[in-house]
Amino acid sequence: MITTSDVERRSRGRVIATGARITGEARDRLASELKKAYEGGASIRALAEDTGRSYGFVHRILTEAGVSLRNRGGAPRSRPGA
């Protein structure tokens, strides 16, 4: 049960208590939503912020869902004198 004293985040109309375990069907639904958003271009950091979860949690859910993670962004660094 979520009380007003719990830390809460609102994500797409749902309230998810920070730190609450997500298992079973709820975890499968969350994994599906995160997968769809990530494959649509959202970053892991943005998904973590939107859901009130950690980067590690979102990363783990995506890998469990079989998502092929993107490489890190940014332009390659040039070597001095090259």
- With b for 16 or more beta-carbon neighbours within 10 A and e for fewer, the 43-60 pattern comes to ebeebbebbbbeeebbbe
Q: Are 34 and 62 in contact (CB under 8 A)?
A: yes
Per residue in 55-73, pLDDT (tens digit) is 999 999 999 999 999 998 7
Instruction: Compute the mean pLDDT over every residue in the chain, rounded to the nearest whole number.
Output: 80
pTM score, whole prediction: 0.69
pLDDT attached to residue 11: 46
pLDDT: which is higher, 14 or 28: 28
CA 74/CA 81 separation, integer angstroms: 21
- CA 29 → CA 22, 24, 67, 76, 82, distances in Å? 10, 9, 15, 36, 49
Task: Identify residue 61 by its one-letter amino acid code.
Answer: I
